[in-house]
Structure formats: C-alpha cells, structure tokens
C-alpha cells in the first residue's frame, strides 16, 4: 500500500506517521502545503491512499483537486466536526477528527482495505467548502476562559484577550489589561475554539485578536509585522505563507 500524508503541522504529520507504522503501513511521503503537494503529485505516481488535512499553510487542500485529477482514495484528518464535513463526506473513505485516535485510525484503514478502490476521483465545490470552514454549521466558539490563578479561578471574556501565544512549550494569553496568564492546552487546541472572524493565527507562535491590531508594517521577505495594543513583549511577524490569508481576514 502506497500512502501519502498531506498535513501542514509537521508534529501532527510525524505522529500520524508513527501511528501508521504501528499498523505496518509505510508512508511514502509527507507533504505540508498545497504547492508542495501539487508539485509532488504532478511528478510521481499517485498513491493508493492520501491522509489529507483541510487547511494547509498556503491554502485549502481542495485547491489541489482543481489543478489535477487525483487518483487516490482520501481519508480526511481535520479539526472540523461532522456538520462541516457532511457536504463532502461521501467523496472520501472516512474522516478522522483531531487529535487522532488509534482505534479510529485502524477502523478507517480497514475500511480502505475492504473498499480498495481502483480510482477515486474527488469532486468538491471549493466555494461551498470555504463557506463551511468560515461558518461551520452550528459551530459554537469560546465566549470566556476560566483560568486558575493561585487558589482562585478567574473568568476572562474572550473579547478581553489581545492574543494567544506559545513560549518555552507553554501557552499563554495576554489580556487588554496587559496581563499574562498560563493556559492548560496547546495553541492548536485553542485555535479550534476561537471564532475565525475575530482571531487569526499569524504564525506558529501567535494567534491575534483583530481588535487589538494597532499597526501593520511591511517587513522583510514579503512578511508583515504587527503592533498590538497592549502586547509589546516580542515581535509578532505574519509568516510569508500566511500573509495572503491575513490580508483577506482583515479586509
């Protein structure tokens, strides 16, 4: 079985690779962007099975299928729930919600082995997918956070958060009151809980609130530098791969 992983979060890709190895499945290649995937698929024999994330660093992975005819079965690996996925569920072998579960992964692989399609042409309406990703059906986002401070619990409204950020393998928020608080979960976890109309992940370290952006400055290598109020502890740079999406977000 030839298997391809398309996932922009490299730790997530490596974890999936390890989980597949336990099932005696060798991954042929791991790719991390739309552009990289297009280049690879245009120059290599298509694999039997692709594990496909939806949102990659340079766009939505369905853009791949607009450019080339993919002759592979698909198992989606995504943070989006069944309501957002139902529009394209029938075009795939299965979908797995992050964080991936070992037993669910085995079931999905077994389903593929039973099906063994000779060819799976994935047909999707990209505009509909984008709408679902921006406005997932019945999606509820975080309104407030409960944070332990010493022996006390502090309630912080999400509107009072200037940014989420990671530092030294820990995750924090910085509030409009110019205070930092330690959080229990990873930045990836909180990204899934936040309203994408209000928060944007500008790089692997920062998620910013749109109302706290004080200035946007052109930076080296086609990147952007953000000035937040009141956060000024370190530079916040919009990664080059995220600049296009960031400009669309603030428009």
Give yes or no for a contact between 232 and 162, defined as CB atoms under 8 angstroms apart.
Answer: no
Q: What is the pLDDT of residue 86?
A: 53
Residue 87 has pLDDT above 50, yes or no: no
Same structural domain, 47 and 126: yes
Same structural domain, 239 and 180: yes
Helix, strand and coil percent figures for the chain, each rounded to 5: 35, 30, 35
31-49 pLDDT, tens digit per residue, is 999 999 999 999 999 999 9
Same structural domain, 148 and 106: no
Give yes or no for a contact between 222 and 238, defined as CB atoms under 8 angstroms apart.
Answer: no
Residue 1 has pLDDT above 90, yes or no: no
Question: What residue has token string 């139902």?
Answer: 86
Q: Which residues lie closer than 8 Å to 106 by C-beta, 6 or more apart?
A: 23
Angle at 90 between CA 89 and CA 95, to 5 degrees: 40
> Residue 25, exposed/middle/buried by CB under 10 A (0-12, 13-18, 19+)?
middle
Residue 156 has pLDDT above 80, yes or no: yes
Domain assignment present for residue 173? The answer is yes
User: Last residue of a domain, which of 107, 134, 161?
Assistant: 134
User: Last residue of a domain, which of 103, 134, 165?
Assistant: 134
Confidence of residue 116 (pLDDT cuts 50, 70, 90): low
Same structural domain, 184 and 243: yes
Same structural domain, 242 and 151: yes
State the DSSP string of 26-85. -EEEEE-SHHHHHHHHHHSPPPSEEEE-SEETTEETTHHHHHS--BSEEEEEESS-HHHH
Residue 135 has pLDDT above 60, yes or no: no
Percent of the chain with pLDDT over 90: 52
Tell me how many domains the chain contains: 2
Of 67, 82, 183, 90, the residue nearest 132 (C-alpha) = 82
Same structural domain, 235 and 152: yes
> Residue 46, exposed/middle/buried by CB under 10 A (0-12, 13-18, 19+)?
middle
For residues 98 and 161, the model is more confident at 161
How far is 75 from 57, CA to CA, in rounded Å?
A: 19
pTM: 0.52
User: Last residue of a domain, which of 134, 158, 192?
Assistant: 134
Determine which of 85-94, 99-108, 197-206 has the lowest per-residue pLDDT on average.
Answer: 85-94
Same structural domain, 128 and 221: no
Mean pLDDT within 66-85 = 76
Quote the domain boundaries for residue 61.
Answer: 3-134
Angle at 85 between CA 79 and CA 86, to 5 degrees: 155
């Amino acid at each position: 079985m030839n298997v391809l992983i398309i996932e922009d979060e490299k730790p997530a890709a490596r974890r999936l690779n390890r989980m597949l190895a336990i099932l005696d499945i060798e991954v042929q290649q791991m790719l991390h962007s739309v552009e990289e995937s297009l280049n690879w698929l245009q120059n290599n024999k298509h694999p039997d099975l692709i594990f496909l994330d939806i949102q990659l660093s340079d766009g939505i992975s369905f853009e791949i299928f607009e450019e080339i005819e993919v002759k592979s079965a698909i198992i989606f690996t995504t943070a989006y729930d069944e309501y957002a996925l139902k529009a394209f569920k029938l075009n795939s072998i299965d979908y797995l919600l992050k964080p991936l579960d070992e037993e669910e992964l085995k079931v999905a692989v077994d389903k593929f082995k039973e099906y063994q399609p000779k060819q799976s042409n994935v047909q999707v309406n990209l505009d509909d997918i984008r709408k679902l990703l921006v406005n997932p059906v019945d999606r509820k986002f975080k309104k407030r956070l409960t944070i332990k401070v010493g022996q006390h619990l502090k309630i912080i409204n999400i509107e009072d958060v200037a940014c989420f950020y990671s530092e030294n393998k820990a995750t924090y928020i910085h509030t409009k009151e110019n205070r930092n608080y330690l959080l229990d979960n990873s930045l990836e976890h909180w990204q899934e809980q936040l309203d994408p109309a209000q928060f944007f992940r500008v790089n692997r370290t920062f998620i910013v609130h749109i109302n706290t952006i004080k200035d946007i400055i052109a930076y080296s290598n086609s990147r952007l530098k953000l000035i937040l109020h009141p956060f000024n502890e370190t530079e916040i740079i919009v990664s080059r791969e995220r600049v296009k999406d960031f400009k669309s977000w603030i428009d």
